[in-house]
Structure 1
Amino acid sequence: MLKNKLLFISPLVVILVIALFGLTLIPSVQQKPKNLPIALVNEDIGAVIPQQGKVNMGNTITNMLKKNTTSTDGEVSLVKWINVESKEDVLKGLDNQEYYGALIIPENFSQKQSSLMTSKPEKPEISLLINQGMNPAAANLTSQMLNTMGDNLENGIQTQVLQGLAKQNVSLKVNQLTLLTDPLQVNVENVNGVGTASMNGSAPVALFQPLWMSSIAGAVVLFFVANKLTFVNRKQKLYAMLTQVLAGTVLSLVAGFGLAWISDLLGIQISNFMDISLFLTITYFAFFLLITAVLSWLGMKGIPIFVLILFFGAPLLSMAPEMMSTFYRDYIYSWLPMRFMVEGLRKLFFFHQGFSFSGTTSILLWIALGSFFILVLSVLKVQGSASDKGYYEEKKARATKG
């Protein structure tokens, strides 16, 4: 063994493998959220305060929030506030996955805040909506930020009211003092909740790996079966390819319905078994055709491509695009075919949307169609250095001799 050069090269090989797959950790380590879209609804109509005129605390709060989250040092801000007219519009945007959360100031906010300085105080309220199903990590971050903002608003209101009372030299009554210890009612609501049986909202990502690996396995097995056949003309090769696709369709049904059944058996909440099974079936079929198309041109040399896609793509699937670096978001995540699977499953799991052939499903079908076209073209490719005619004549002679 000491005379074998591979023995001394092995440490270098280990270092290269560690370095290569260590790169897959970069997106998770360097998470830096930026421009998280959060809706801001200000329905406050204002109030008239003696000696001050009309005030609108809703406008004051919105201006303060935007100022505090706007970057002044050239860096991208953490939050991207989006003005929305009403709560109804916000709910539609949350269902369409446009916002990770929302802050809503009701129309009587100024009136109730000004009442804190009177003998009949009323506690003002704000509503915080968290779009929990959109992305677990981003939802948790949004919840922390909005709750911190609520605490800061409460402290600000308390300070403002006490300063106003001090200027007027007004003594506090018991009911006022009680309210001033907690002068703001913050109502937090999770929208499109992930429930208690969805692996904390990560079920769509968790289902990707078994489906991806099984699609690789199915494509490789059928590739070996087709590769052992002897063709005497292109027509036979085309028939074999179509049979391969037909077999892949059967595998898709087995994988789609099988994975949904196993997930349900393991306790993952499957909201609609048929819808999720059909979507997984189409997803498997798209992945199967994509892998088969590559194998038809590159052979087994193409397998490392899909293994690398798995290792480099899997960490990104659990992240929100706003939490990725520009490079990973634009040049890796945007080109991952499996992201359409995760996005489609999120809609089915958490956004109460049924199966349809639009949206992510249509994209997966286009991937399948494009892969099928590339697969058909492989039937026409020239084999080796000989012409097709010579190649098939040689195959025919070998088959006859055999």
Structure 2
Amino acid sequence: MRLFKEKLAWAAPIAVILIIALFSVNLFAQGNPQVRNLPVALIVNDEGEHVDTVKSAIEHMSKGTDDEEPMLAFTSEDEADIEDLFKDKTYYAALVIPEGYNNALQNTLTDNTPATLQVYINQGYNMTGANYAKTALNGFITQLSNQYSTNFIAQLNGQQIDADQAAVLVNPIVSEEKVFNAITASTANGSAPTLMAVPAWVGALIGGFVLFLSTSGILKKEMLTRKQTLRLMGGQVLFGIIIALFSGFTVATLGKVAGINMPSYFLVGSFVSFAAFCFFLLVSAVTAWIGKPAITLFMVVMLLGMGVLMTPKEMLPDFFVTFIRPWVPIRFAADGLREIFYFGSGFYTGGSFMTILGIGLVGLVIYILSIFKPVRAPKTDTE
């Protein structure tokens, strides 16, 4: 058949393989996530034999096994600093040994009251990571309680006990949870910031590409001076502002219609618009220099990035953490919205805001410099 002799036809299965491979790369990130070294704070507000037992058990837990790294990585902190540390997203959770813990456990059989270890959960940081940390800490407390239960039962040596004492014997240590930066209701279980950040990137990508095609058509028809080209680019940037505003407030409006519990409609719409405009500048800059292949590049970045947006970096393979996660612009928009949704931030969201602004400024500079790009003169009929 003639079709089998066409080289372009053979490119189709190759293209399919490449596209499927790109989509499937995220299977390595999501297929079998291994939790490693989730940062957890250890706050010790007491001292004594039983406190030392907890610290010894934590030290043993932190060693992991011969083949695997530990699930949790503990760092000692002061309780006065924990709210700021949680706000800075330093820890997913904290284990607190409260004041009076040692005496409570020492007298648990006489007072018929279990001792309490506290678990602080930084839910807004990342719900998946916080839940893993919470589960691991509660499992640790349960295991420690079981060890004490076995020892206490052995100490009683068959003595008669009442119902209250029996309950304490079963659970001599209990956990008490406290949530910080709580994920509010109707925010897609903490996924709303990411779900609302993705359209900012998609809008910038589509808008930037359409305007690139428009300006390319003008440049092909007319030989413009650099001043005229710069004016044309200024018009493209103004269109980018319009596209960004449409993107941001369309996302906010749809979020409101969908029942997303936004802290502020105007704030969310403005931040998404800001991110979309900065992404638009990046897209415009790269397309101005390398043309249509830039769209393929940005689509690849988006496809590879989808697997890392909602997953804690401690659950990702090293390859994703080192070579993919740092280069996904959508992540910074999602982080900024997370600050707004769960950490009480305003329009300025700290590091995420500065990174997005940096992307926009660098994109603008590179875009302006494209006026110095060599341009092929159009062919005439005599050539």
Query: TM-score if structure 1 supplies the norm length?
Result: 0.87
Residue 211 of structure 1: aligned partner? 200
User: How is 1:360-371 mapped onto 2 (pairs within 5 angstroms)?
Assistant: 360-371=352-363
Q: Using the TM superposition, give the Cα deviation of residue 30 of structure 1 relative to its aligned residue in structure 2, in angstroms.
A: 3.9
1:373 matched to which residue of 2?
365
Instruction: Report the secondary structure of 1:188's partner residue.
Output: strand
Identify if the C-alpha distance between structure 1 residues 16 and 244 changes in structure 2 by more than 3 Å, giving closer, same or farther.
Answer: closer
Q: Is 1:202–2:204 an aligned residue pair? A: no
Q: Which SS does the other structure have where 1:102 is aligned?
A: strand
How far the C-alpha of 1:258 sits from its partner, in A, is 2.1
Pair 342,85 (structure 1): closer, same or farther in 2 beyond 3 Å: same
Aligned partners of 1:44 and 1:57 also within 8 Å: no
Corresponding residue of 1:39: 41
Tell me the SS of whatever aligns to 2:161. Answer: coil
Equivalent of residue 138 in structure 1, options 125, 129, 135 = 129
Cα deviation for residue 13 of structure 1 reads: 4.6
Q: 1-side partners of 2:162 and 2:129: how far apart? A: 43
Instruction: Tell me which residue corresponds to 1:3.
Output: 2
Q: How big is each residue's C-alpha offset from its partner over 1:234-287, in whole Å with a ceiling of 9 and x where there is no partner?
A: 110011111111111122122112211211111111112222222111100111
Q: Is the contact between residue 61 and residue 70 of structure 2 (CA under 8 Å) also seen in structure 1?
A: no
Q: Is the 8 A contact 1:42 1:59 kept in 2?
A: no
Secondary structure at the counterpart of residue 40 of structure 1 = strand
Alignment of 1:119-130 (within 5 A): 120-130=111-121
Distance 1:202 1:60 in 2: 39
The one-letter amino acid paired with 1:143 is: K
Q: CA deviation at 1:78?
A: 1.6
9, 18, 21: which one pairs with 1:19? Answer: 21
Q: Which residue of 2 aligns with 1:161?
A: 152
Partner of residue 339, structure 2: 347
Shift of 1:179: 2.2
CA 1:234–1:152 in structure 2 vs 1: closer, same or farther (change >3 Å)? same
Quote the Cα distance in structure 1 between the aligned partners of 2:337 and 2:142.
35
- Deviation by residue 1:69-100 (Cα, 9 ceiling, x = unmatched): 313526432210111122x3222212221111
Give me the whole-angstrom Cα distance separating, in 2, the residues matched to 1:227 and 1:175: 81
Q: What is the CA–CA distance in structure 2 between the aligned matches of 1:334 and 1:232, rounded to whole Å?
A: 38
Question: In the alignment, which residue of structure 2 is the partner of 1:70?
Answer: 63
Deviation at 1:359, TM superposition (A): 2.1
Report the counterpart of residue 256 of structure 1 in structure 2.
248
String of CA shifts for 1:100-147, please: whole Å, max 9, x gaps. Answer: 1111111111111111233x3332111112221111221221122122
The question of whether the paired residues in 2 share the 8 Å contact of 1:211 and 1:255 is answered with yes
What one-letter code is carried by the residue in structure 2 that aligns with 1:333? R
CA distance in 2, matches of 1:16, 1:361: 34
User: What does the per-residue CA deviation read over 1:343-385, in whole Å, with 9 as the maximum and x for residues that have no partner?
Assistant: 111111111122216421121111111111111111111112x
Query: What is the Cα deviation at residue 20 of structure 1?
Result: 3.6
Can you list the C-alpha shifts for 1:315-349, whole angstroms capped at 9, x where unaligned?
11111111111111011101222211111111111
Match of residue 76, structure 2, among 83, 91, 113: 83
1:39 and 1:101 in contact (8 A); partners too: yes
Q: Which amino acid aligns with 2:322?
A: D
Superposed CA RMSD in Å reads 2.2
* Number of residue pairs the alignment of both structures matches: 375
Separation in 1, partners of 2:264, 2:329? 24
CA distance in 2: counterparts of 1:127 and 1:290, whole angstroms: 46
| Contact 1:128-1:187 within 8 A present in 2 as well | yes
Runs (4+) of structure 1 exceeding 6 A deviation are: none
Structure 2 counterpart of 1:245, which letter? Answer: V
Any stretches of 5+ residues in structure 1 without a counterpart?
47-55, 385-390
Residue 32 of structure 1 and its aligned partner are, at CA, apart by 1.4
Q: Is the 8 A contact 1:94 1:100 kept in 2?
A: yes
1:228 match: secondary structure? helix
Residue type of the partner of 1:144?
Answer: T
Map of 2:351 onto structure 1: 359
CA–CA separation in structure 2 for the residues paired with 1:73 and 1:363: 39
Q: What secondary structure, in the 3-state scheme, does the structure 1 residue paired with 2:189 have?
A: coil
SS in 1 for 2:348: coil
Percent identity for Structure 1 against Structure 2: 29
Which of 299-308 and 267-276 deviates more?
A: 267-276
Q: Distance in 2 between matches of 1:17 and 1:222?
A: 25
Q: CA offset at residue 10 of structure 1? A: 4.9
1:188 aligns to 2:181 (yes or no): no
| Separation of aligned partners in 2, 1:234 and 1:16 | 39
TM-score, normalised to structure 2, is 0.91
